[in-house]
Amino acid sequence: MTYLIDAWLDRPQPYLRILNRNTGEVCALLKEDALDELRDQGDLDMRPLTELGARYQSYAVTDLEQRIKRMQDFEVVVTNKVLIDAQVMDACQQLKLILLSATGTNNVDLAAARERGIAVSNCQGYGTPAVAQHTLMLMLVLITRFESYRQAVRDGAWQRSSQFCLLDYPIGELSGRTLGILGYGELGQAVGRLAEAFGMRLVVGALPGREKEGRPGLDQLLEQVDVLSLHCPLTEQTRDLISAPELARMRPGSLLINAGRGGLVNEQALADSLRAGHLGGAACDVLTSEPPRDGNPLLAADIPNLLITPHSAWGSREARQRIVGQLAENLRAFAQGDELRRVN
């Protein structure tokens, strides 16, 4: 089957349509909000999509009230964070394929899609190198007290020093320390390889309900690691995986890194532990609500040795380019009657 693209992007209400070349039927929509995390920064090669005849114009935001109006006449929708539930699917009778420009599927009711014969495909593994290097960066910034020293220089402390160097904050080394990883898929393994290159000893823990021989349970893991890095999915079993009791079991002065999902860590408990001085530091690239609003406890200014990055670990140009490629692959497979990266 051959498809055509009809697009007018430089108008107040731009549009893009994918049409069946034989019948002229509109069969797919590349929505602006669908590619929210692929916002064109001028650094991506869009040929994997344009070679299919596809170009796109992204919406900055799609409100809940706009979903049905924008989707109801199309067979294919590309989305990232916009909620697509059973009610939306019932109102969009033409819908046959939902393409997710991310790995997470929380915003799509997979069971409802399956019941209605709607396929859902996602993108996978695109951000592994980016998130792995970001995770190691967070460890290094914490253990070297990079932020403390940067601020000290800005405040003039080095300039006032009587010595050639400033060593007001304790500096540690990753080498020789023990890294615990929870979630040892592709990403966890990539982090482990980088950590071992820095001379760290690696211990992989077992997730609740997924015990595995040779992997310590959570309580045992917490007692033996100097750095804990989280790379597991958010499920009912892993929600608040690290809360007050778990933080108390961690070694004094240890570090916590969360580049997985915000709900893995109880944020108030983490703030309390850092204020009490039990942990040596923590870093989070994810929070329970993003963007954070209404006074997230981890955004308080008085929490020591805490780093927050704005869910940016994944966002290298190379990672976003892989998403473009995988979206094109998934769409091409659908057009050919095949399934690729289907998650339901």
Characterize the bridge pairing of strands 97-100 and 119-121: parallel
Distance (Å, rounded) from C-alpha 310 to C-alpha 278?
25
310, 266, 257: which is closest to 288 by C-alpha?
A: 266
For 323, counting Cβ atoms within 10 Å of its Cβ (0-12 exposed, 13-18 middle, 19+ buried), the class is buried
- DSSP code, position 249: H
Measure CA of the first residue to CA of the last residue in the chain; give whole Å: 24
Is the preceding omega at residue 292 within 30 degrees of 0, hence cis?
Answer: no
Local structure of 203: helix, strand or coil: strand
Number of C-beta neighbours around residue 291 at 10 A? 8
CA angle, corner 99, sides to 94 and 104, nearest 5? 130
Active site residues: 261, 290, 311
